[in-house]
Chains A and B, each alone.
Chain A
Amino acid sequence: MISTDEEQMAAVNNKFDLIIDTVPYVHDLNPYLPSLSLNGTLVLVGLLGNLEPTLNTVPLILGRKSVAGSAIGGIAETQELLDFCGEHGITADVEVIKIQDVNEAYKRMLKSDVKYRFVIDMASLNS
């Protein structure tokens, strides 16, 4: 769903127990707070720094909601994830590139022009 669509956002009012926010740039969190359920948490995983605009804390208090952060994962839980993915055959959707094209890949990534992660084939170092 599109967060700038007011109707779609109203439809998910009070819905989510957990929201994982992967956006890598400072953005307004306020529109997302109503979609958190009672006790719900919005977890930021991007290193954004100071939020802008400022967060209105009233919705947090009125719904016992939280805004939290989380960083990568420890070695044991990363191994657990790999083992889980191995069992279920889960990997990322990637576009494989040669290392010589890395600068072009950066430009495209910044325009969100990738489905959904670039991966460098290191054999291309020999080209």
Chain B
Amino acid sequence: MTINVRGYAAPSAKAQLAPYQFERRDMRADDVVIRILYCGICHSDVHEVNHDWDRNSIYPMVPGHEIIGRVVSVGSNVTQFKQGDHVGIGCMVDSCQQCSACKQGLEQYCEEGPTLTYDDKDRHDQTPTFGGYSEKIIVREKFVLRVPEDLDLKGAGPLLCAGITTWSPLRHWRVREGTNVGVIGLGGLGHIR
């Protein structure tokens, strides 16, 4: 059974976003249903809406991948989350889970490509993925993030894309006390550093 939700979508490339009603995909045993409280706006949302990248984009497109919400219900196999938990969803909602990158916890480099939170196709039922500019989202447990208590919910969403995009290279290139780091661009990503 699907859930009907309200959101905002771009009906076609470069179009203005407007109210849009759509069906979320069927819930599965490892899914978490989340009521969305806040969603950050990423510059990638603009690129995607405008079809700036070489992708087979799907319209109407509901952008949004800096999602903060509250768990509404969980599937029968879910163990890490319960109703009422504050959670986050970033840029990915699934991956192959078998390749070397996925096994290292680097799902963004999945050899088959991760399933993006929006403008992509669900790996199991091929339905389009719709993002966080909407009232609810359904995501498999493995791709749901726990939001620490006391973290300000309004400001936490951008950590899930802007934040992690700048954090990941700091970790990979082993930045520590004494390393000199420069940041080009003091906008949505640069300011968090």
A positions within 8 Å CB-CB of B? 3, 12, 15-24, 32, 35, 37, 41, 43, 45, 47, 68, 70-79, 81-83, 85-87, 89-94, 96, 99, 102-103, 105-106, 109-110, 112, 114-123, 125
Q: Smallest Cβ distance from B83 to chain A, in angstroms?
A: 18
B40 adjacent to A119 (CB under 8 Å):
yes
* Cβ distance B22 to chain A, nearest Cβ, rounded Å: 13
The reply to whether A3 and B159 contact each other, CB–CB distance below 8 Å, is: no
Contact between A15 and B92, CB atoms less than 8 A apart: no
15 contacts between A and B (CB under 8 A): A18-B169, A18-B180, A18-B181, A20-B190, A24-B43, A37-B180, A43-B173, A70-B168, A73-B165, A75-B105, A81-B159, A82-B146, A92-B191, A92-B192, A122-B135
In the bound complex, CA of A37 to CA of B151 (Å): 36
Provide the main secondary structure of the chain A interface. Answer: mixed
The interface size of chain B toward A, counting residues with CB under 8 Å, comes to: 79
User: A123 vs B35: C-alpha distance in the bound complex, in angstroms?
Assistant: 10
The total of Cβ contacts below 8 Å across the A-B interface reads: 234
A3 to chain B, nearest CB (A): 7
Report whether A102 and B133 are in contact in the complex, using a CB–CB cutoff of 8 Å.
Answer: yes
User: B188 to A116, Cβ gap below 8 A?
Assistant: yes
> Would you call A18 and B175 a contact (CB within 8 A)?
yes
Contact A85 B105 (CB under 8 A): no
State the CA gap A115–B155 with chains docked (Å): 12
Query: Is the CB of B183 closer than 8 A to any CB of chain A?
Result: yes
Pairwise interchain contact B180-A77, C-beta atoms closer than 8 A: no
Across-interface contacts of A37 in B (CB, < 8 A): 180
Closest A residue to B190 by CB, please name it.
Answer: A22
B78 touches A (CB below 8 Å): no
A20's partner among B64, B90, B181 (CB-CB below 8 A) is: B181
When C-beta atoms are compared, the residue in chain B nearest to A14 turns out to be: B180
CB-based contact A120/B39 at 8 Å = yes
* B164:A81 contact, CB within 8 angstroms: yes
